[in-house]
Copies of this chain bind each other. A is one copy, B any other.
Amino acid sequence: MDTFLIDDLLRGFLREDLEHGDITTEAIFSGHETGSAVIRAREPLIAAGIEAVAARVFRLLDERLVCEQMAADGQRLSRGDCLMRISGPVWSILRGERTALNLAQRLCGITTLTNSYVEAVQGCKTAITDTRKTTPGLRLLEKYAVRCGGGRNHRHSLSDGVLIKDNHIAACGSISEAVRRARASVPHTIAIEVETDTLAQVVECLRCGVRIIMLDNMDVPMLRQAVMMIRDQALIEASGGVNLHTVRAIAETGVDIISVGALTHSAPACDIGLDWESAAPPVC
């Protein structure tokens, strides 16, 4: 992740937690003490955002801090494993701790959950993708975390993909008219996907040459039928009603893609903490 894309965001997060300063730490420390600490997994997890996000937070807070990445993004860790070592002014480690951990625990949470879905469909050809149901302000980071977990990204925003939904279709009168309008207007490098609720709509998509068909909220037998109808004529995405119990059965219908909103909107935070390497930061 490029620093010029995320630095303003991260500085804003620091300001949110620091407002006009850390009054406890500034009262107690002189500012000259140095020490080191590690960020440690307190439960099994898959790492994400260590170098690009958590370390960057510390560096933006105080450029004298040195961060050493101890786990690659996407690496599976056990309870007690270290993600990163931070050395430098104690004052700054204490002040950046919460912001860095809040980000890391969320990103690792997404990566770990994503990987559970990816493992659940192992052996199938199906890819697991995210959706636009991300935390406002964190989409760039959360979509990165999805990739760290072996997932793939769906479109990033309303600007970089066409997804024709029921309301679009209703407004045009038919799928084919909606597709015609989209083709006439969007850049040719953007493919057109259509959301369908019924097999009749799937047929209409095939008839007008749609290359990506989303099967929305269909049960497994219906998904199976749709997949048989479509075969190689289009890429098939299943969406809706997906959880860790259902995802394997959905994948086994032969769909190419399963999109899962929960990856980003409901992943529980991983338990991650900061431990000082000496018993305590040096006395001032």
Q: Which residues of B contact A135 (CB under 8 A)?
A: 102, 106, 135, 138
User: Whole-angstrom distance between the alpha carbons of A1 and B101 in the complex?
Assistant: 23
A75, CB-defined interface residue at 8 Å: no
* Chain B residue contacts of A25, Cβ below 8 A: 158, 168
For residue A90, which residues in chain B have a CB less than 8 angstroms away from its CB? 167, 171
Q: Given the complex, which residues of B lie within 8 Å of A154, measured CB to CB? A: 187-189
Q: Nearest CB to that of A162 among chain B residues?
A: B24
Cβ B189 vs Cβ A157 within 8 A:
no
**CB distance B133 to A136 under 8 Å?**
no
A2 to B25, CA, bound (A): 13
Which residue of B has the minimal Cβ distance to A184?
Answer: B27
Residues of A within 8 A of B (CB): 1-2, 4-5, 9, 11-29, 33, 60-62, 90, 94-95, 98-99, 101-103, 105-106, 109, 129, 132-140, 143, 152-168, 170-173, 178, 181-182, 184-193, 212, 235, 237, 256-257, 262, 265-266, 268-269, 276, 279-284
A101 to B135, CA, bound (A): 10
Q: Which residue of B lies closest to A237 (CB)?
A: B188
Q: Are A95 and B181 in contact (CB under 8 A)?
A: no
B257 and A188 contacting across the interface, CB-CB below 8 Å: yes
Say whether B102 contacts A171, CB under 8 Å: no
Cross-interface CB contact of A27 among B18, B101, B185, B281, cutoff 8 Å: B185
Q: Distance (Å) between the CB of A38 and the closest chain B CB?
A: 14
Distance between A61 CB and nearest chain B CB, rounded to angstroms:
6
Q: In the bound complex, do residue A189 and residue B191 qualify as a contact, i.e. CB atoms below 8 Å apart? A: yes
- Beyond the given A4-B11, A9-B137, please list 9 additional residue pairs across the A-B interface where CB-CB is below 8 A: A2-B61, A20-B143, A28-B178, A161-B189, A171-B283, A262-B268, A262-B269, A266-B269, A268-B268
**B contact residues around A62 at 8 Å (CB):** 2
Q: Is the CB of B189 within 8 A of A160?
A: yes
Q: Establish whether residues B160 and A190, one from each chain, have CB atoms under 8 Å apart when the complex forms.
A: yes
B265 pairs with A158, CB closer than 8 A: no
* A5 surroundings in chain B (CB, below 8 A): 15, 18, 20-21
Q: How far is the CA of A185 from the CA of B154 in the complex (A)?
A: 10
A5, chain B: closest CB distance, angstroms: 7
